[in-house]
Amino acid sequence: METIERIKEQISENTILLYMKGSPKLPSCGFSSQASQALMGCGEKFAYVDILQNPDIRAELPKYADWPTFPQLWVDGELVGGCDIIMEMYQQGELQTLITESAAKNSSAESSE
């Protein structure tokens, strides 16, 4: 599968997806650590992709997303942004609302199928 196709599939299959360096439990950079901590603080499950283990995604995603840095948070197929945006939204309570609403919307969609 082409890398871009894999990225599109990951984004479409995961309501809340964080592309990061490392994992939420063992982040490999400060920005990824902050972003995953903020997401965990929202209390919903989220998927992640460790770009250090996926150099092809690390190379292609910035072009696909038109966003040069990591981490990258995707919610409902849309790029939310990187660490600064995630932290700002978290501090203002916007991230919690976005994550909670998205998770609720998608869990009700799954149960009605």
Nearest of 70, 53, 52 to residue 61 by alpha carbon: 70
Q: Which residues of 5-31 are buried (b: 16+ CB within 10 A; e: fewer)?
A: ebbeebbeebbbbbbbbbbbeebeeeb
Residue 107 lies in a domain: no
pLDDT at 109 over 80: no
84 annotated binding-site participant: yes
Residue 109 lies in a domain: no
**Cβ pair 56, 88 in contact under 8 A:** no
pLDDT tens profile 5-15:
999 999 999 99
Q: Is residue 106 part of a domain?
A: no
Asked if residue 112 belongs to a domain, the reply is no
Q: How many domains are contained in the chain?
A: 1
Give the pLDDT mean for 100-111: 82
Of residues 109 and 21, which shows the higher confidence score? 21
The answer to whether 21 is annotated as binding is: yes
Mean pLDDT of 21-31: 97
Question: pLDDT by residue (tens digit) across 42-88?
Answer: 999 999 999 999 999 999 999 999 999 999 999 999 999 999 999 99
pLDDT band at 108 (very low <50, low <70, confident <90, very high): confident
Q: Which residue range is the domain that position 30 belongs to?
A: 3-100
Domain with residue 20: its CATH number is: 3.40.30.10
Instruction: Give the Cα separation of 102 and 53 in Å (integer).
Output: 27
Is 54 within the bounds of a domain? Answer: yes
Query: What percentage of the chain carries pLDDT values higher than 70?
Result: 96
Is 93 part of any domain? yes
Instruction: Tell whether residue 6 is among the known ligand binding residues.
Output: no
